[in-house]
Chain A
């Protein structure tokens, strides 16, 4: 799919996304799970323009050791691999997984997840704080997946997170941005980057999220479960850019009375 959208006006170049001392051009981060196959995944990720891709840490399937793994399709010189601690329900478990992920040798970043409930996959704040403190001491750059509560976000920042990742809505739900006010509040109060993660469903969700002024957005299911993941990835790329530009452009105020757009003088009488 070729890019048919003209480039942004040169008067207003955006700064790169900066996390933990590293810079990324794209503010769209994508997951690698749930795709039909690795080839489709690679094509969708390419279309998304993402620089950062998340991966999970799991046991090797000893009956299928001859199959090319996910990394084969994600060259390390093109993509920044952000390992996650998906599936971890305690701080100890998340720390164990983070250490294993770092040993794979790509970087010291970790997308920290400590889940508190199997049905909603909502995060366990206490577990996140405990794991963050341990991992920060060990030199990790911690990006913490959290809920949309300001206090949790502030505590995670205080504990040393390099970025905070509040959810838009539950993982895999596709419900979009449920609480724009909370996300705007978090962004206005934190110093570290705020990257909305989880729950994005379609392009308008991504655009609306970026219009809140956040630094980036992470999505997985929105692409992998679209009927055409490659086309959706292209849509998301542009939605993220449009939302970001709209925020930087400074929107007009909302009003509850009308103001005409055409002059009132010079009407025929």
Chain B
């Protein structure tokens, strides 16, 4: 299947189709326990990541804690 085009952390990129948010984290090499997922401006809780499909045009932000004051 042709890849999905999404906006991920501000950049447009292709991801495999079909894929869930959990699958996307795995595809990127990210630990779901270390990352918070915002899917089209909605925070998706960890248990729901595997149930939430990624769609064409989705805007996804993956954030985590970094050093700060």
- Using a CB–CB distance below 8 Å, which chain A residues touch chain B? 31-35, 38, 41, 54-60, 62, 65-66, 69-71, 81, 83-84, 86, 99-101, 103-104, 171-172, 198, 218, 220-221
| A83–B69 CA distance with the chains assembled, in angstroms | 9
12 contacts between A and B (CB under 8 A): A33-B69, A55-B66, A57-B66, A59-B10, A60-B35, A62-B28, A65-B28, A65-B29, A70-B65, A84-B68, A84-B69, A103-B36
Docked complex Cα distance between A263 and B20 (Å) = 84
Contact A104 B64 (CB under 8 A): yes
User: How far, in Å, is A170 (CB) from chain B's closest CB?
Assistant: 12
Residues of B within 8 A of A (CB): 8-10, 28-30, 34-36, 38, 43, 45, 61-69
Q: Given contacts A62-B28, A104-B36, are A220 and B62 in contact (CB under 8 A)?
A: no
Q: Whole-angstrom distance between the alpha carbons of A228 and B60 in the complex?
A: 40
Q: Which label, helix, strand, loop or mixed, suits the secondary structure of the A interface?
A: mixed
Nearest to B8 among chain A residues (CB) is A62
- Whether A32 contacts B9 in the complex (CB less than 8 A), given A57-B63, A69-B34, comes out as no
Other 8 A-B pairs with CB < 8 A, given A69-B66, A81-B65: A33-B69, A34-B67, A55-B66, A56-B65, A58-B68, A62-B8, A70-B65, A218-B69
- Beta-carbon nearest neighbor of B30 in chain A: A65
User: Within the assembled complex, what's the spacing in Å between the Cα atoms of A83 and B36?
Assistant: 13
